[in-house]
Structure 1
Amino acid sequence: MKFAYDIPDSFWSLFRSMNRELYMEALLKINEEYEYNNYYLSKEVCLQVLEDWNESQRIWLSPEEFESENDASQTPPNRILNWLIKTGWLKRIEDFSTLTTNIIIPDYAAVFLTAFEELVNPSTDDTEIYIQNVYATLFSFWHDKKMNLAMLKTALINTKKLNKALQDMLHNMDHFFSRLLKQKSYEEVLAEHLEGYVEEIVEKKYHILKTNDNFYLYKNDIKRCLREMREDIPWMEQVQKKADKEKGEDVLSIINAIERGFDDIEHRISNMDKEHSKYIRATVTRMNYMLNGESDTRGLMIQLLKTIGDSKDSEEKIEKVGQSMNLSHFEVLSEKSLYKKRKRRDFASQVEEEKQQEELSREDVLRLNKIHTRYQQAEIEDFIESYMQDDHMEVKDIDIRDEESFEKLILAYDYSTRRNSKYKVVERDDKLIDNGSYRYPALTFVRRKPKS
């Protein structure tokens, strides 16, 4: 393998050291001060940064394999700085003119420090930045007369980066599922969901795909721009001629690769939606189990099987349990079955026999075709007026014996509820009148006063 830099063999010992996390954190502290001081630090400043960090955290280092007794007897800041210089993560340069020792970070170490920084503080707005970059770069390339092919390549690179960011989000879901299962109480599950998943995934990453500044805001415009590029044959020939003069790359293949990348992005977003729904369902199920784990039949069964599985003499416990209950049956610990076998039904049993309808008599046909609204408004008003005394009509004073009177009473009540009605119901008694033939409430109809 060819490397751009000569990396010393001792450089890789950081990843085998028991103190690797402390060394990585120390490098990030030094790098932060290193960037602030224009990438040049004296040894005294490095030690001061490490001493301030040691005071806030109280560092304890395990002994290294090739560490001398003199190095092991020094303070933690000195031990860390000497070890990082010795392994090649930091480099010491002597300035004899000022009699000072300067500390620099080699180029190969700076590459790893960028990776450490990304692991500690991952980018939260990758999806938003990349989709906007693709959008702006493509439209600039499409409308720019210079037609710089590097802009089209930049759009392809950002499309691949966006795919990578979404794929990382999808792969990290397993991490949250495992953390969810490690919680032992309802409060811990709720805290893990709100402080872990919601803060790290939903608020920082997932919501970017669903808000106004999202993938779907730019997708259609970008695809339309790619389609117009492909269909404009004279423009494509002109761009291809320019590309042949530079590096001889196929412009159409780059455009197709960008379009395929957007199809992959849409597919990954769909998978992310599915994983998000799975996690929400798993969280709710876990909370329900925490609340009802001791009383629910399934919870008791899970506790029993977990106890048997964790014990050393699991076979002996299985025999004792088997003496009290039959674990091969589905009815365990409760009269209610954990699983109810569904009965298989054939199609013929589900089809009901067609019932033959009997022929209707002349009276039945007339009764079914009876028009219930055969009374006109004038007839209903005459019915009310016939029983009206002093602008009042008391239903309890009327003897309803036939079907015609009963229907007119119902239609009179319906008519009184309308705005253009001459009458209204002012009093409704909960007491029902039962005359042996019909039952109806004791209503009071009054004449409406004309509006001035």
Structure 2
Amino acid sequence: MQSHYEIPDTFWSLFRSVNREIYIESLLCINQEYEYSNYFLTREVCLQILNDMNTQKRIRLEREESETELDLLETTSSRILNWLVKTGWLKKIEDYTSLTTNIVIPDYAAIFIEAFEKLSSQELEETDLYIQNVYATLYSFQNNPKVNLNMLRTALVNTKKLNKALQDMLHNMDKFFERLLDKKTYGELLREHLDGYVEEVVRKKYHILKTSDNFYIYKMDIKKCLREMRENDEWIESVRARAKAAGDEKEDVLEILDQIERGFDDIEHRIANMDKEHTKYVRATVTRLNYLLSGETDTKGLVVQLLNRISAEENGVKKEEKLRKTAERMNLSYLEILSEKSLYKRRKSRTDFISKMETEEETEDLNREEVLKMNRIQMRYSRAEIEEFIQAHMTGDIMDAGAMKDMTDEDFEKLILAYDYSTRRNSKYAALNEEDRMVENGRYRYPDLKFIQRRP
């Protein structure tokens, strides 16, 4: 039977009570003693625990709607214990042999008390705990022939819990942005960043994922373990045989391995999203700090302060008076007040545009010789140097460009200029490429040119 059917209606009154903080703290104190008790806690022990808590914190208990005048005559500890028993958070068991009243915590109440502990304690982070559990469980399942699929399912459950913990971290980032905007001074904002965000997120949560590398220490080993199990067909068949013998054939071992692997891919994506949120927060903090620093000197900051002061005035007459005095001294509608650069650039008049068109002279198109002259590397190599380059690579009366070896940048540039030189009428050499073949020479590709000397 499901536990929520056992919960009495009065159980939920704790969350509506004016004393709910006191009741929750009392439950935590009783549960702490309850965990170390070998048997039940007696009523006297519970009262002593509550008395010690009352002595330390001087509890002031408000009256509950269900309490009578007779109940108010009891001590504070008795009132707390009686109310918790009456609403179902604690349960009385009478032991008639020893004539004592024992106090126990019902199963459904223990679930809520565990949640209260997680909300109030700063113990080992879930992101640290679950990754170690997955690592240990997978290696035990791989190397211990006695285990069954339930151990592999445990690794899958811890992977899902780790994903949930990371998702909660990601979704709770918005509260830091809200607190960032609430700070009005530079000192308050810096204190919020260092004592709030750095302590709560960077050192306790984000630090675990990135700096101390708890996740990345185990990630590659876990993926290697999953890959080895998947590729070992003999081991897979032995696991299936054990599962069949135990009657556990609801899920195949490969299906569970696939789910764990997908879970680790999701972890990677969530960590990437945490990186983005962390970068956004740091950028927003720096922007806010710069704004608060320049708020008293920057034009935009001064205007914002002025507008905030005017809008804070509740009296309509005084607000109108402040607006009138402000308007006498400055023009708030001028766009450059709110920005260093104007939001638009003024257009020139139509007469200026027409006069400019009339004064512009038409430019003539360049001819072929002028274009070649503009594109040519001028004064880099002289005509004599180009002729020496051709003569140096001649074999007999022919220079074969395709036969050149170990061509450098300088040689390639001279080859281009040599071809340009060969196209002129007064050139001593002519270039031929009869077969239209291309040559591959190192990182250069050019036509297979042959230079011969012109006849006089």
With normalisation by structure 1, the TM-score equals: 0.69
Q: In the alignment, is residue 274 of structure 1 matched against residue 276 of structure 2?
A: yes
> Which of 314, 329, 336 is the equivalent residue of 1:331?
336
Distance 2:323 2:381 in 1: 74
Task: Letter of the 1:271 partner, please give it.
Answer: N
SS at match of 2:336: coil
1:205-354 aligned within 5 A: 205-245=205-245, 246-248=247-249, 249-307=251-309, 321=323, 324=327, 330-332=335-337, 337=340
Task: Letter of the 2:38 partner, please give it.
Answer: N
Check the 8 A contact 1:131/1:158 in 2, yes or no: yes
Relative to structure 1, the CA distance from residue 239 to residue 319 in structure 2 (aligned partners, 3 Å threshold; closer, same or farther) is: farther
Report what 2:191 is aligned to.
191
Distance 1:56 1:274 in 2: 45
Relative to structure 1, the CA distance from residue 103 to residue 263 in structure 2 (aligned partners, 3 Å threshold; closer, same or farther) is: same
Deviation at 1:3, TM superposition (A): 3.0
Deviation at 1:204, TM superposition (A): 1.7
Task: Letter of the 1:43 partner, please give it.
Answer: R
Number of matched pairs: 355
1:21-420 aligned within 5 A: 21-38=21-38, 40-146=40-146, 148-245=148-245, 246-248=247-249, 249-307=251-309, 321=323, 324=327, 330-332=335-337, 337=340, 356=374, 359-360=378-379
CA offsets 1:330-371 (integer angstroms, 9 cap, x no match): 3226xx62665699xxxxxxxxx99937954999999xxxxx
Check the 8 A contact 1:39/1:104 in 2, yes or no: no
Relative to structure 1, the CA distance from residue 160 to residue 363 in structure 2 (aligned partners, 3 Å threshold; closer, same or farther) is: closer
Distance 1:341 1:144 in 2: 74
SS at match of 2:204: coil
Deviation at 1:319, TM superposition (A): 10
Relative to structure 1, the CA distance from residue 224 to residue 341 in structure 2 (aligned partners, 3 Å threshold; closer, same or farther) is: farther
CA offsets 1:361-393 (integer angstroms, 9 cap, x no match): 999999xxxxxxxxxxxxxxxxxxxxxxxxxxx
Relative to structure 1, the CA distance from residue 365 to residue 233 in structure 2 (aligned partners, 3 Å threshold; closer, same or farther) is: same
Distance 2:176 2:383 in 1: 70
Distance 2:287 2:204 in 1: 25
SS at match of 1:300: helix
Task: Letter of the 1:33 partner, please give it.
Answer: E
Check the 8 A contact 2:94/2:100 in 1, yes or no: yes
Deviation at 1:177, TM superposition (A): 1.8
Relative to structure 1, the CA distance from residue 136 to residue 40 in structure 2 (aligned partners, 3 Å threshold; closer, same or farther) is: same
With normalisation by structure 2, the TM-score equals: 0.68
Relative to structure 1, the CA distance from residue 267 to residue 358 in structure 2 (aligned partners, 3 Å threshold; closer, same or farther) is: closer
Check the 8 A contact 1:124/1:204 in 2, yes or no: no
Distance 1:109 1:64 in 2: 21
Relative to structure 1, the CA distance from residue 362 to residue 303 in structure 2 (aligned partners, 3 Å threshold; closer, same or farther) is: closer
Deviation at 1:185, TM superposition (A): 2.7
Relative to structure 1, the CA distance from residue 86 to residue 358 in structure 2 (aligned partners, 3 Å threshold; closer, same or farther) is: closer
Relative to structure 1, the CA distance from residue 235 to residue 54 in structure 2 (aligned partners, 3 Å threshold; closer, same or farther) is: same
Check the 8 A contact 1:330/1:337 in 2, yes or no: no
Deviation at 1:274, TM superposition (A): 1.4
Report what 1:376 is aligned to.
none
Deviation at 1:141, TM superposition (A): 1.9
CA offsets 1:250-285 (integer angstroms, 9 cap, x no match): 221111101100000011111111111222222222
Distance 2:253 2:42 in 1: 51
Identity over aligned pairs, percent: 60
The runs of at least 4 aligned residues of structure 1 exceeding 6 Å deviation read: 313-316, 361-366
Task: Letter of the 2:284 partner, please give it.
Answer: A
Check the 8 A contact 2:223/2:261 in 1, yes or no: yes
Relative to structure 1, the CA distance from residue 321 to residue 302 in structure 2 (aligned partners, 3 Å threshold; closer, same or farther) is: same
Check the 8 A contact 2:141/2:152 in 1, yes or no: yes
Relative to structure 1, the CA distance from residue 88 to residue 339 in structure 2 (aligned partners, 3 Å threshold; closer, same or farther) is: farther
Check the 8 A contact 1:85/1:91 in 2, yes or no: yes
Deviation at 1:14, TM superposition (A): 0.5
Check the 8 A contact 2:90/2:106 in 1, yes or no: yes
Task: Letter of the 1:276 partner, please give it.
Answer: H
Relative to structure 1, the CA distance from residue 145 to residue 46 in structure 2 (aligned partners, 3 Å threshold; closer, same or farther) is: closer
SS at match of 2:49: helix
CA offsets 1:150-175 (integer angstroms, 9 cap, x no match): 22111111111111111111112112
Check the 8 A contact 1:298/1:338 in 2, yes or no: no
With 131-140 and 249-258 compared, the bigger mean Cα shift is at 131-140
SS at match of 1:145: coil
Report what 1:7 is aligned to.
7
Task: Letter of the 2:172 partner, please give it.
Answer: N
With 6-15 and 35-44 compared, the bigger mean Cα shift is at 35-44
Check the 8 A contact 2:3/2:107 in 1, yes or no: no
SS at match of 1:204: helix
Relative to structure 1, the CA distance from residue 80 to residue 308 in structure 2 (aligned partners, 3 Å threshold; closer, same or farther) is: farther
- What is the aligned-residue RMSD (CA, Å)? 3.4
Relative to structure 1, the CA distance from residue 147 to residue 292 in structure 2 (aligned partners, 3 Å threshold; closer, same or farther) is: same
Check the 8 A contact 1:128/1:213 in 2, yes or no: no
Relative to structure 1, the CA distance from residue 57 to residue 364 in structure 2 (aligned partners, 3 Å threshold; closer, same or farther) is: farther
With 250-259 and 103-112 compared, the bigger mean Cα shift is at 103-112
Check the 8 A contact 1:90/1:104 in 2, yes or no: yes
Task: Letter of the 2:10 partner, please give it.
Answer: S
